[in-house]
Amino acid sequence: MTTAPSTFRVPLPETLINLLGRRGIDLPAAELDGGGLLRKDVSAAYDRLRAESPEAQIVVRRCRDLLNDPDGDGFAVLEVGPLLDRYGLDDGQKAATILLSWFGVPLRAFDKWPLWKPLGTNLTIDPMRATGSGYNPLHIDVVNATEPPDYSALLCVRPDPRGEGRSIVSQLRRAVDRLSDGERAFLAEPVFRDGAFYDLTGVGKEYGPFPVLDGLPASEGFVRFTAKMLPDMDLRDPHTSAVRALERELIAGQKKFLLGFGDLIVVNQHLCVHGREALGQGQDEVSEVRRRLLWQMFLRSAEADAR
């Protein structure tokens, strides 16, 4: 499968594209409060636009069904290419922000970046990193925080010109259910660590060591999985074996597809992990301004914001 299956794709009706362009340009800019979230008055202005459009409400219901059904896969791919084509990258980005705000609260987790964080292709860093060129293993974002973002959104602005770098997603809860009781017991112990924690807002405090399984229902808790922590784990430790068992189950159930220009994948981090296959060979022969580029934004669920 080279592109996201139609089951998970959400096209935007022409009337909604026109509405976002015609009216969105006059709406307030996506300014944030002190906690990294979209200001409530801005969010209210965006939501009033949604309330005017039956097509918008249909799209939102479809996205919420795909993202939040505990028996589903926990991700959706919105086709926002027409917004970028018609209104340009700046106004198209604002329209995409308005669209995402209808089923989550935009969150800027990284203080040093704007609301939409650019993820280009850097050939000088670890290939496994988000902006590297190699395999980016399955993970949830900001795994080592007490409150990871509820949703992670990635908008493809420029696909890999070498035609590779397929996105990978896999449903976490079903994979956990296939583990043995013993493996789940090891994963419930708070002994796991991953990465650094600094210059972050809106995601709680640093959490480490943390359990992979927190025992909470999917609507509240997370499966704090990242295969990126495996290289630093002791091969003789049964906790390592349990993490590898979960990784095998996730790989067995994964879906892979290419994101095209304007494809916006949204992942519910309570239900789903994501990653990326390696980009195509010969990246050093591609100029930096032509290499793969995504924009990333996080969302906090409206329910979590209200708690």
Q: What is the DSSP letter of 217?
A: -
Instruction: Return the percentage of the chain with pLDDT > 90, whole number.
Output: 93
Instruction: Give the model's pLDDT for residue 2.
Output: 60
pTM of this prediction? 0.95
Residue that has been written with the tokens 């609507």 in this structure: 219
Nearest-5° Cα angle at 224, 222 to 227: 145
Q: Name the residue ranges covered by the structural domains of the chain.
A: 6-306
What is the number of H-type helices and E-type strands within the chain? 8, 11
The per-residue pLDDT for range 281-304, each reduced to its tens digit, is 999 999 999 999 999 999 999 865
Q: What does each C-alpha distance from 22 to 85, 102, 202 come to in angstroms?
A: 14, 17, 32
Please enumerate, as own/partner, the contacts of 237-244 that have beta carbons within 8 Å and a separation of 24 or more: 238/186, 239/186, 239/187, 239/189, 239/191, 239/192, 241/183, 241/186, 242/179, 242/182, 242/183, 242/184, 242/186, 242/187, 242/212, 243/187, 243/192, 243/212
- What the block records as the tokens of 163 is 């035609």
**Cα radius of gyration rounded to whole Å, the chain:** 19
Mean pLDDT of 117-124: 96
Domain 6-306: CATH architecture, name and number where available: 4-Layer Sandwich (3.60)
Which residues make Cβ contacts (< 8 Å) with residue 287, sequence separation at least 6?
none
| 3-state SS class at 305 | helix
Instruction: Give the model's pLDDT for residue 302.
Output: 82
- What the block records as the tokens of 213 is 């399984």
The per-residue pLDDT for range 133-167, each reduced to its tens digit, is 999 999 999 999 999 999 999 999 999 999 999 99
Beta bridge partners of 210: 192
Instruction: Give the model's pLDDT for residue 307.
Output: 39
Give all strands of the β-sheet with 255-257 in edge-to-edge order: 136-139, 272-276, 167-171, 255-257
Counting Cβ atoms within 10 Å, is residue 80 exposed (0-12), middle (13-18) or buried (19+)? Answer: buried
Whether residue 102 contacts residue 109, with contact meaning beta carbons closer than 8 Å, is answered with no
Indicate the pLDDT class of residue 55, thresholds 50, 70 and 90.
very high
